[in-house]
């Protein structure tokens, strides 16, 4: 496990980062600090960290100033900020990576795997690796962490601030994620496609297609969105069996 801490005065940014960390089981958060002065005192007293995520634009003490005091406490330092002009300053204080907000899960996981390469025989344990599952907190079960296998997924549906995950056994999970987060996780897998702004589906679980209407095996039904018609047509072109008989 990689011991990590977060220093960021914006609660929204902290929550976003925690959502990504939850998808990488080899990361263990041992501290979250929204007050940079408290972070200076608390992190200064802990044993060496493997990874420290730090915002730059914070009140009273900037992330750059804080890094000068705490750099020796962490093996790797990753700056997370909305301001690209701090990139040179981050380099000056020996930052190992610079993530410009808002960054995707794909960018995040790639950065972690670059800083901590997976050893031969070891699993990366991230949703973009060769694993056959990922982990999510289910809102309907008091945020119990649930393992979700890719081959058990029928579809993902955007539902305001959450995503519903429909499984082949009829269960529906509710996770505090966005469809963009989901696409970062499953986008590299050919069986998952987005044909509507509110849905990402497993093409293995399509029951039938009628015109531009798609019906899933769990009776979920939707019409292909205007923006997604080209990708839908490409999918049909690749998958639809055509006769070689001359007309």
pTM of the predicted protein model: 0.53
The interaxial angle of helices 179-186 and 105-115, nearest 10 deg, is 50
Architecture of domain 135-239 in this structure: Beta Barrel (2.40)
**pLDDT at position 96, please?**
87
**pLDDT at position 76, please?**
93
Alpha helices in the chain (DSSP H): 11-22, 36-43, 63-70, 87-92, 105-115, 179-186, 229-239
Per-residue pLDDT tens for 137-149?
Answer: 999 898 889 999 9
Rounded mean pLDDT of 71-85?
Answer: 88
Rounded mean pLDDT of 226-245?
Answer: 81
Per-residue pLDDT tens for 171-200?
Answer: 999 999 999 888 888 877 888 999 999 999
**What average pLDDT does the structure give for the chain?**
86
User: Which residues have C-beta within 8 Å of that of residue 30, sequence separation ≥ 6?
Assistant: 3, 4, 5, 46, 49
The answer to whether the 2-115 and 135-239 domains have the same CATH topology is no
User: What does the alpha-carbon distance between residue 222 and residue 215 come to, in Å, rounded to a whole number?
Assistant: 7
Secondary structure class of 36 (helix, strand, coil): helix
Q: What is the secondary structure of 180-208 as a DSSP string?
A: HHHHHHHTTSTTEEEEETTEEEEGGGEEE
**pLDDT at position 244, please?**
63
Decide if pLDDT at 34 tops 60.
yes
Least confident of 49-53, 81-85, 119-123, 206-210: 119-123
Beta bridge partners of 167: 153
Decide if pLDDT at 130 tops 60.
no
Architecture of domain 2-115 in this structure: 3-Layer(aba) Sandwich (3.40)
**Burial environment of residue 174 by CB neighbours within 10 A (0 to 12, 13 to 18, 19 or more):** middle
Tell me the domain boundaries of the chain: 2-115, 135-239
Q: Which two tokens stand for residue 103?
A: 């960054």
Rounded mean pLDDT of 205-220?
Answer: 95
Decide if pLDDT at 243 tops 70.
no
Decide if pLDDT at 222 tops 60.
yes
Per the rule left: phi > 0, alpha: psi between -120 and 50, beta: everything else, 224 is beta
């Amino acid at each position: 496990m990689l011991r990590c801490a977060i220093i960021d005065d914006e609660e929204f940014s902290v929550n976003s980062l925690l959502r990504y960390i939850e998808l990488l089981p080899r990361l263990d958060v041992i501290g979250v600090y929204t007050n940079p002065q408290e972070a200076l005192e608390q992190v200064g007293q802990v044993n060496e960290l493997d990874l420290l995520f730090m915002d730059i634009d914070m009140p009273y003490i900037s992330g750059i100033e804080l890094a000068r005091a705490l750099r020796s406490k962490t093996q790797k330092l990753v700056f997370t900020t909305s301001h690209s002009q701090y990139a040179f300053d981050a380099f000056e204080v020996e930052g190992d990576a610079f993530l410009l907000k808002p960054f995707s899960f794909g960018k995040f996981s790639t950065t972690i795997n670059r800083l901590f390469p997976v050893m031969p025989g070891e699993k990366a344990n991230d949703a973009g690796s060769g694993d056959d599952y990922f982990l999510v907190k289910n809102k309907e079960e008091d945020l119990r962490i649930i393992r979700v296998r890719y081959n058990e997924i029928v579809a993902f549906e955007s539902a305001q601030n959450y995503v519903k995950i429909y499984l082949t056994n009829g269960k529906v999970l509710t996770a505090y994620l966005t469809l963009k987060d989901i696409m970062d996780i499953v986008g590299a897998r050919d069986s998952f496609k987005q044909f509507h702004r509110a849905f990402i589906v497993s093409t293995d679980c399509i029951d039938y297609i009628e015109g531009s209407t798609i019906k899933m095996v769990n009776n979920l039904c939707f019409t292909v969105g205007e923006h997604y018609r080209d990708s839908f047509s490409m999918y049909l072109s690749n998958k639809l069996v055509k006769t070689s008989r001359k007309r």
